[in-house]
Amino acid sequence: MTIQVLETLGIFSLTLFLILRKPFGLHEAWGTVIGSVLMLVFGLVSFSQSCQTVLEGASVLLFLLALMVLSALLDLAGFFEWAAILAARACDGNGQKLYRNVFLLGAVTTAVLSLDTTAIILTPIVVAFVQRLNLKAYPFLIACAFVANTGSLLFPVSNLTNLLFQEAFHYSFFSFTLFMLVPQLVALALNYWLFKFLFRSSIPKTFDKSLLPDALSAVPDRLFFNGAVLIVAVVIVGYFVASLYRIHPVFVASIGAGFLLVWGAWRRQLDHRIWKDISWSLFPFVIGLFIVIRGVENIGLSNIAANMFVMADKQPLIQVPVIACATALGSNLINNIPMALLAISALKHAHSNLLDQYSALLGCNLGPNLTIAGSLATMLVITSARKRGENISAMDFLRIGLVATPVLVIGASIAAYCVGCLHID
């Protein structure tokens, strides 16, 4: 091995260690920042390369910011608490229905507003009202942690990994959704019924619905709330319309966030809480990761992975589950965002087809359900819950993940293969 290869692999390993282990309480964003600085200092990535890499990912980061602003404003309008109370009230005291509604609420939130919204905003609300009902929070917390990943297949906006793949391979919003619709439904159905079986003794049969407040009590201003819901609905429709005219969805999300900010200011509803709901640390984390992965690309590691994709391509009947399982495993070893970036690089070098690309993405999205370290969203769910006195150990999560993750990955892979056979593009 050359000195460059050893230095690059050493810095990459150090970056992963800092992200996953967080020594001395160091935030994971510092891990990628330190790694990217070391790549530049050792000359493994040039300054011009780093600038180019960041510029190439700028639209993804802007899109992510717009989504976070939209989510934060919806939270300020009381939407998530209103939705959670409404979902609980609709159950009429039936615990099984409550579990189903929490799962569905998490799935819809993840699909429309990203898994980070489910992790940062919805999870604390769910835990709070479950505690208010004097129920065991554990099965509901596990549902939130899993659905943040399982429900993130449908739209490009549902997951940062989706945005990265869309930016790299130029999928339209419509074609992405059309391809992922069946795998998404299969993954959610498998996840729900599997959890209903695994937690059959933990999910309450009944609960006291009289402990729930009126849903509208969560809404501070009805006009702001109604305007926020309307704007988000228009944004969702706008994604599909913009796709027909090849307009990047970042413009749709940014315009929607801008209108909602103005409406909030007009209704005098804006305050400092909006900035707390935005995960600012995600931006240096992703930027640093872009640069670190660029250093890995510079030593030709992507070519090795590309050859593996080419070999899998020779066996079309097994290529989907093999690629999905490979990226799923990699997501738990090195986290799903760096795994997605490495997979994109390898797929580009391999001149991969559409089915290979979606297979890799399936693994990056569903694979992190195996361990707590698989995705940032899972870590955020666990952190949010711990602040409210609820805890899931890494071993407890792993025991559930070992049962559920293979079922979800293989089930969604089979669904993706069937969709691929229809040559949807």
Per the CB < 8 A criterion, the answer to whether 159 and 365 are in contact is yes
Residue from 166, 141, 140 nearest 152 by CA: 166
DSSP state of 206: B
Task: Measure the CA–CA gap between 314 and 318, rounded to whole angstroms.
Answer: 9
Q: What is the pLDDT of residue 311?
A: 59
* 111 closest CA partner among 144, 83, 145, 152: 152
Q: How far is CA 109 from CA 42, 75, 317, in A?
A: 42, 12, 34
Supply the pLDDT for residue 254: 94
Q: Which residues contact 14 (CB under 8 A, 6 or more apart)?
A: 34, 35, 38
DSSP, res 154:
S
What's the pLDDT at 1?
58
Q: Are 374 and 336 in contact (CB under 8 A)?
A: yes
User: With left for phi above 0 and alpha for psi between -120 and 50, is residue 248 left, alpha or beta?
Assistant: beta
At 256, which amino acid appears?
Answer: G
Residue of 138, 142, 140, 107 whose CA lies nearest to 126: 140
Asked whether the beta carbons of 378 and 368 are under 8 A apart, the reply is yes
Burial 4-16 (b: 16+ CB within 10 A, else e): eeebbeebbeebb
- CA distance linking residue 333 with residue 335, whole number of Å: 6
- As a whole number of angstroms, the distance between CA 265 and CA 32 comes to 36
pLDDT lower than 70: segments of the chain = 1, 301-317, 423-425
Record the tokens describing residue 339, joined without a space: 């795994």
Report pLDDT for 304.
61
Domain ranges, residue 59: 3-421
| Assigned token pair, 217 | 């009590």
How many Cα atoms occupy the beta-carbon half-sphere of 119 within 13 Å? 25
- At 420 the pLDDT is 87
Contacts of 326 (CB under 8 A, 6+ apart): 308, 360, 363
Q: What is the pLDDT of residue 425?
A: 47
- Give the count of domains, the chain: 1
Nearby residues of 268 by Cβ (< 8 Å), 6 or more positions away: none
Half-sphere exposure of 159 (CA within 13 A, CB side): 30
Between CA 180 and CA 184 the distance in angstroms is 6
Q: Give ∠ CA 236-358-341 in degrees, rounded to 5.
A: 90
Residue with tokens 């945005």: 163
pTM: 0.91
Output the DSSP codes for 53-94: HHHHTHHHHHHHHHHHHHHHHHHHTTHHHHHHHHHHHTTTTB
Are 254 and 242 in contact, with CB atoms under 8 Å apart?
A: no
**Distance of alpha carbon 18 from alpha carbon 28, whole angstroms:** 6
pLDDT, residue 273, reads 74
Which CA distances in Å does 52 have to 47, 49, 58, 345?
9, 5, 10, 15
